[in-house]
Amino acid sequence: MKVAIQGVKGSFHHIVAEQYFGESIDLVECLLFSEMPDLLINNKADVLIMAIENSIAGAILPNYALIDEYQLNICGEHHLPIHHNLMGITGQTIEDINEVYSHPMALLQCRKFFKKYPHIKLIEDKDTAEVAKRIEAKNLKGIGAIASDLAAKTYNLEILATEIQTINDNATRFFILKNDIPDKSIVANKASIKFAANNDAGSLAEILGILAKYGLNLTKIQSMPIIDTPWKYAFFVDFTFSNYNGYVKAMKEVKGKVVSMKILGEYTKSKR
């Protein structure tokens, strides 16, 4: 199976790929999320793994837009505890580090730690593990990376500080994405939908009331602007259910109450 990830070997996406599919996969590296859908379209990947939200930094809104634009099917999810480490060339100390490069989400999750080291400049980059790879390849002294311990092992770097994330209980949720018809063999107990409600008072509350009536448990709701209709919004909603028939009835009823609705995926809830 060709599994596309954002980042390179040693990234958190790489860890998710092996935890979800096992180690016998063909890893397809991709530095930008925006490049990933084309890998499916051009048959260069069978499945994508894409981060969608972090418990500290919140939702990754551009990724919701990509899922919607390319009509990707959410066929699974995975929660990964995130353990950030500061690393660099062996033999250095934190005092030797002048600049730290990492993905913007990683920097956001670790800013409190770096307040103790005002001499270190934080610089946004494309990927956590790619920075670690670059440091090893170019023997960059004075430069640090924020990445996983797998990245440190993969690129022979020394970990200068462990668990530097602001909140220890830090996790990221990832979607498993395909562009084909949903696999009906999956035992679905969770779904993601997108809908645009009528512009009437109480319309959103009415939709949420339908979900509650059929025993659907709302786990996330995210608003996104409708690009071609200024100041109007669509809602991306995740919910769990124990009765599939009840879920089907709820979706039929919701569809009759909204301007538009799309089921983005039916899948098995991930263990946290």
Please write the tens of the pLDDT for every residue from 239-255. 999 999 999 999 999 99
CATH number, domain 2-81+170-178: 3.40.190.10
Output the pLDDT for position 64.
Answer: 94
CATH number of this structure's domain 190-267:
3.30.70.260
pTM: 0.91
Give pLDDT, residue 199: 77
- Specify the DSSP element, H or E, that contains 115: none
Helix axes 244-255, 203-213, angle to 10 degrees: 160
Beta strands in the chain (DSSP E): 2-6, 26-30, 47-54, 58-59, 73-81, 85-88, 99-102, 121-124, 143-147, 158-161, 171-178, 190-197, 217-225, 233-240, 258-267
Torsion of Cα atoms, 236 then 239 then 245 then 248, to 10°:
-10
Task: Report whether 34 contacts 192 (CB < 8 A).
Answer: no
Do 85-161 and 2-81+170-178 fall under one CATH topology? yes
Instruction: With CA atoms as reference, report the closest residue to 103 among 165, 17, 163.
Output: 165
Q: Does 182 have pLDDT greater than 80? A: no
CATH 3.40.50.300 matches 85-161: no
Side chain identity at residue 98, one-letter code: N
Q: Predicted confidence band at 226 (pLDDT cuts at 50, 70, 90)? A: confident
Tokens of 262: 């799309």
The confidence score (pLDDT) of residue 183 equals 63
The residue extents of the domains of the chain are 2-81+170-178, 85-161, 190-267
Beta bridge partners of 218: 239
Select the more confidently predicted residue: 200 or 178.
178
pLDDT in tens, 94-124: 999 999 999 998 999 999 999 999 999 999 9
Structural contact between residues 172 and 53, judged by C-beta atoms closer than 8 angstroms: yes
Structure confidence at residue 271 (pLDDT):
81
pLDDT reading at 23 higher than 80: yes
Q: Which of 53-67, 147-161, 199-213 has the highest mean pLDDT?
A: 147-161
Q: Would you say 33 and 103 are in contact if contact means Cβ atoms under 8 Å apart?
A: no
| Residue pLDDT, tens place only, 53-77 | 999 888 999 999 999 999 999 999 9
